[in-house]
């Protein structure tokens, strides 16, 4: 996840060196103040190196689902094709949602992430990045026959102008967020929109990204 925005973190290679050393073959595991400081610096860099939303730049919503949660990143590309993170978000799955099939959980990640960032995405063209290949077909071809649950979700996506693209899981930075979600299971669109209003105002004042 840190590598995804590494180009925007000054001295990233130097900061991460103690952690990379731990991954080398035959290296003895240790966790001292040096490793702890490296970890904390990288973690803080993920929140410090975010950009303000620009309505004139194309947006991408990178989503993922795990057996326990949903995660997403709202990103944009500038004129030089550099990717910048606008905000992070995640939530835990409810006990019922945890029993969904994997394709339904991945589809739910798309629905939830889009509605969570409604104020940024409504009325714009944007791209959704998923690591589930089948969803690229389901969301692009209306004549496919998904489950009734996914069909209902497709109806909820009709107000938005988007296309779904597949990207392999190893290149999906939202994987970490879905496996370590914020421990809330709120699925209310109204509540999400209220949260976005307050969070957007908070970020304008502090330039700290959304982790909710």
pLDDT tens per residue, range 120-166 = 999 999 999 999 999 999 998 767 788 899 999 999 999 999 999 99
The three-state secondary structure class of 107 is helix
Q: What percent of the chain has pLDDT over 70?
A: 85
Whether 37 and 17 have beta carbons less than 8 Å apart is answered as: no
Whether 127 and 98 have beta carbons less than 8 Å apart is answered as: no
Whether 85 and 74 have beta carbons less than 8 Å apart is answered as: yes
Its pTM stands at: 0.75
| pLDDT for residue 105 | 97
Burial class (CB in 10 A: 0-12, 13-18, 19+), 57: middle
The three-state secondary structure class of 191 is helix
Residue extents of the structural domains in the chain: 3-48, 59-206
Which listed CATH number (3.30.420.10, 1.10.3720.10, 3.40.718.10, 3.90.226.10) goes with 59-206? 3.30.420.10
Lowest mean pLDDT segment, chosen from 39-43, 96-100, 143-147:
143-147
Predicted confidence (pLDDT) at residue 44 exceeds the cutoff of 90: no
**pLDDT band, very low/low/confident/very high, at 36 (cuts 50, 70, 90):** very high
Give the contacts of 76 (CB within 8 A, at least 6 positions apart).
51, 53, 54, 57, 58, 59, 60, 83, 84, 86
Distance (Å, whole) CA 46 – CA 34 = 19
Helix (H) or strand (E) holding 99, with range, is: none
Higher pLDDT, 142 or 183: 183
């Amino acid at each position: 996840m840190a590598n995804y925005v590494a180009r925007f973190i000054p001295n990233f290679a130097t900061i991460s060196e103690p952690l990379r050393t731990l991954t080398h073959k035959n290296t003895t595991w240790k966790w001292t103040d040096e490793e702890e400081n490296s970890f904390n610096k990288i973690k803080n860099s993920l929140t410090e190196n975010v950009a303000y939303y620009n309505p004139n730049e194309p947006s991408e919503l990178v989503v993922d689902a795990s057996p326990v949660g949903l995660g997403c990143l709202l990103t944009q590309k500038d004129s030089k094709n550099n990717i910048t993170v606008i905000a992070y978000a995640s939530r835990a799955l409810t006990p019922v949602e945890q029993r969904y099939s994997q394709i339904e959980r991945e589809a739910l990640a798309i629905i939830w992430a889009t509605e969570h960032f409604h104020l940024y995405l409504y009325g714009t063209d944007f791209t959704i990045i998923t690591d589930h290949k089948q969803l690229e077909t389901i969301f692009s071809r209306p004549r496919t026959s998904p489950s009734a649950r996914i069909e209902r979700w497709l109806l909820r996506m009709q107000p938005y102008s988007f296309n779904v693209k597949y990207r392999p899981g190893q290149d999906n930075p939202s994987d970490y967020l879905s496996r370590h979600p914020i421990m809330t299971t709120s699925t209310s669109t109204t509540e999400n929109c209220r949260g976005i209003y307050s969070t957007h105002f908070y970020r304008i004042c502090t330039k700290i990204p959304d982790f909710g």
